Structure 1
């Protein structure tokens, strides 16, 4: 039980350090809202979709079918790779989430962002001594990656909103 708690605290501390060192936050460019009033969402039926919906709604962006822009969100995929090798009982693993997306204008179906990829990664450690906790640690990492992917998607939408309208 102590190892599991240690792993959770390690993951939380690592995420906190990564976010606190982000230059964009330090410069004040981490605005929490997208200035889009509304957007249409066409998304695959994956666990990433509710995370994106929640992020848009928390940024005061309504999800409506008649919005001027449409966000097309593809399915999520996860990839794992070992970061440490050998016969050690503890392994560090890098997990990467990728998801395709595009943004179109509704009136003429013109792509403002065509065939883009969201890609986020995290590292975590698992131990062969505690096999029951491995699934929980992996699922926790997946949830963190989904939330980070939703935040990065909002950043891309924010950058899109700052471009002149065509």
Structure 2
């Protein structure tokens, strides 16, 4: 586990909200010169705390789409079935996220596609491929309420003030 100080947390906080910030602006915002700021950034990347940089795409501006969450139950819980299902999920670009769960469902998938018909074709493909999917429950997103947000870094680092 990497020890983080206030400046490290500030870097993570800034980058999680503004991934395109210049290194010079980042250095200024954390009150360091460019070289020490760059060294800290490299250390955070090498430690695996910064997993990547990406743009947040406005799907609404791109065109018609539907976002669906799918709670999936597998037929059994053998290591082979889990591996087969996870490999099948990885092959479908429409499945943009998938989490293994503890509790009632085995997986929660997030699907983004052009319409409900294309979503149903995806599910039919998974069922026909016999990847272990026994049951699935579909939850269609009707409106976004809160989008992806930076994680609560202070809380996770144990620095949240009461």
* TM-score class normalised by the smaller sequence: under 0.3
Give the alignment's TM-score, normalised by structure 1: 0.23
- Which protein, 1 or 2, shows the higher relative CO under an 8 Å CA cutoff with sep ≥ 6? 2
- Higher strand fraction: Structure 1 or Structure 2? 1
Give the alignment's TM-score, normalised by structure 2: 0.23
Greater C-alpha Rg:
2
